[in-house]
Amino acid sequence: MAHPRSTPSPIAALVLALLLAGCGDKGAQGPAPEAAGRDPTVTISGDEAVVVPAWQPAPVQIAVGDEPKVLAEAIAALDAGKLFGGDRDAMPLLIELHARLPDDPEVSRVHARAVAMLLAEGDAALAAMDTDPNGLRHAHEVGEVARTAAADAPTVRAYLSRVDAADASVQLDHRGERELQADRLGEGDTRGALQYFREALVKRPGDARAAQGIAAVESALIRRAETAAATSDFAQAETWLQHAAPIRPGMSTVADARLRIGALRTERVNTLRDQGLALLMRDGGLPQARRILSDVLRIAPPADPAATELRERIDLVAHYGLFRPGQAFTDALRSGARGPQMIVVPHGGFRMGARDGETDALPNERPLHYVRFDRGFAMARTETTVGEFRRFVDATGYRSRAVRRGHSIVYDERSGNLVRRSGVDWRHDYNGAIARDDMPVLHVSARDAEAYAHWLSQQTGERYALPSEAQFEYAVRAGSEGSLPWRSRIPPRSAGNVTGSLDRSPTGRTWRNAFQGYGDGWWGPAPVASFAPNAFSLHDLAGNVSEWVADCWHEGYRRAPADGQPWVNPGCRTRVIRGGSWASAPAQVRAAWRLSTDGDTTNARLGFRLVREL
């Protein structure tokens, strides 16, 4: 009688086949022939070669009929994340099971799951190799297990290609670092560190070591640029920056370096410019200034304003040889007489106003600001004298403000005060007596001074005027930066006609607010040029008499002209007085001191001097 055929399960079929095969237990056969015959894998990590041996699964003993139990054990190992390393981990068990039951769907499914988990662990090791020194080694170990478990699987072959690419990137990184250490950067068309690091990134995108190497190449090129700039070779510095610019285009490092080098270049050019301008102030300094200009033109960018300024100034000195800084001259008048002696003041720049922390400074003396004279000017060597003003009055019949008004302000020795006195005008001294011709003219208003300047301009054909505030302070300072025209708090011996504690009036009066320990022998104005000139060869700017300037009064320097021109509002009545006098307190002798007063003011402490355009 025929019995119905029942299809055995794959496991049962395998058990039956094993029984028919006798004693052929594959679990006791040892490693697969492929694993036993493979050579160890060698990879490069850092500076050392790392040998990763071929993986051999541990021998697995599976008794006939225990396959389901072993499969369950393999699944449990998978769930616990135990892939290989131990003889009862998932991969040794599944390799043996898969070899015995290649067609069993459950074994194949679990085997495929194990291979996928294995490759995921390997990819994680590759991803961590930039921070984990053992990452690449572990990725190789995974590769050896995967090669044994499923050598022909496309996923395994793809993974092994990724491991090979990681090996290549490490070797390229190492080669790039050697080139970097040897300063072979690979800029331009040369081959060096940059090319190796870029190839490493192609092999393994995201290679942090290669990215760091590329940044190091950029930094090395920037250092080359800064080294060249330090020797004023700014053309070579720019060449290195141009090589560095395309390396990491999204970063600001090259742009920042270009700004730093540009600032250094500007500083060097400006320093040379100032040296050249200073040389032009000296006799015989023109050839040296021309050599300075050659250095400026070598390092300055095209159309640099400092280079242009120095070149124009040299041209002025070379081709306008009538004047030179510090030169004294007089202009001829139509009458055949000579005008006041003028001194050529060098052009340049200075910081105008009260310095930070300056004692006795007033708000109207600020803000401190930079003023530059693009062209020099001439200033009268002394205050305008009584004799010079007399020549103007005699020639024109001019009637000054005090003459028309019939009075002015004089010093009264009896009371020690300044008082109004009738019949006093430009012909009189500080106390109302008739003045000598070599004394500074007093009792003149701003308009009187401007009338004299207008007459002098007509007589000479040149432009005379009251100085601007900026011109006056520039001349007072004469290159100094302190609050006073002198280095010390107390004026040096015979510095000028200012109030000193040692001064005595004709009746023995002394000053209540004066420079302690100083005396100049004068109570009231002294004849002009009685004291030594300053560094610009100008006399009495800090003392003797205060002086009118051309500016209208403003409560501070916000929006003041930066070119040194007078700050004038049409029709203004309130004017500016500058410079200390024989009766000024020490605070009023400061270079930044300024005072407002009506333009019609006349008194015993106030005179003027003129400037002339060159």
Which of the residue ranges 481-490, 524-533, 585-594 would you say has the lowest mean pLDDT? 481-490
Q: How far apart are the C-alpha atoms of 224 and 238, rounded to whole Å? A: 10
Q: Mean of the per-residue pLDDT values for the chain? A: 90
Asked if residue 19 has pLDDT above 80, the reply is no
Q: How confident is the model at residue 322 (pLDDT cuts 50, 70, 90)?
A: low
pLDDT of residue 28: 34
C-alpha angle 523-527-528 in degrees, rounded to nearest 5: 120
pLDDT of residue 455: 98
Average pLDDT (537-560) is: 97
Q: Which residue has the tokens 């044994």?
A: 148
pLDDT of residue 190: 87
Of 425, 411, 361, 367, give the one whose Cα is nearest residue 590. Answer: 361
Which of the residue ranges 53-62, 72-81, 583-592 would you say has the lowest mean pLDDT? 53-62
Q: Are 289 and 279 in contact (CB under 8 A)?
A: yes
Asked if residue 490 has pLDDT above 90, the reply is no
Q: How far apart are the C-alpha atoms of 92 and 77, rounded to whole Å? A: 11
pLDDT of residue 38: 58
The pLDDT tens digits for 225-278 are 999 999 999 999 999 999 999 999 999 999 999 999 999 999 999 999 999 999
Asked if residue 306 has pLDDT above 60, the reply is yes
pLDDT of residue 53: 81
Q: Which residue has better confidence, 4 or 213?
A: 213
Residues 6+ apart with CB under 8 A from 572: 552, 553, 599
The helix, strand and coil proportions of the chain, stated in percent and rounded to the nearest 5, come to: 40, 10, 45
CATH architecture of 342-384+440-613: Alpha-Beta Complex (3.90)
Is the CATH code 1.25.40 the one for domain 172-251? yes
- Report the DSSP pairing between strands 606-607 and 546-552: parallel
The pLDDT tens digits for 356-375 are 999 999 999 999 999 999 88
Of 354, 358, 383, give the one whose Cα is nearest residue 368. Answer: 354
Q: How confident is the model at residue 41 (pLDDT cuts 50, 70, 90)?
A: low
Q: Which two tokens stand for residue 337?
A: 């007489």
Asked if residue 424 has pLDDT above 70, the reply is yes
Contacts by 250-254, CB closer than 8 A, 24 or more apart:
251/218, 253/218, 253/219, 253/222, 254/218, 254/222
pLDDT of residue 284: 84
pLDDT of residue 299: 93
Asked if residue 474 has pLDDT above 70, the reply is yes
Q: How confident is the model at residue 280 (pLDDT cuts 50, 70, 90)?
A: confident
Q: How far apart are the C-alpha atoms of 396 and 399, rounded to whole Å? A: 9
Q: Which two tokens stand for residue 538?
A: 């100008």
Asked if residue 9 has pLDDT above 70, the reply is no
Average pLDDT (536-552) is: 97
DSSP-derived secondary structure letter, 569: -
Threshold 0.85, pTM exceeds: no
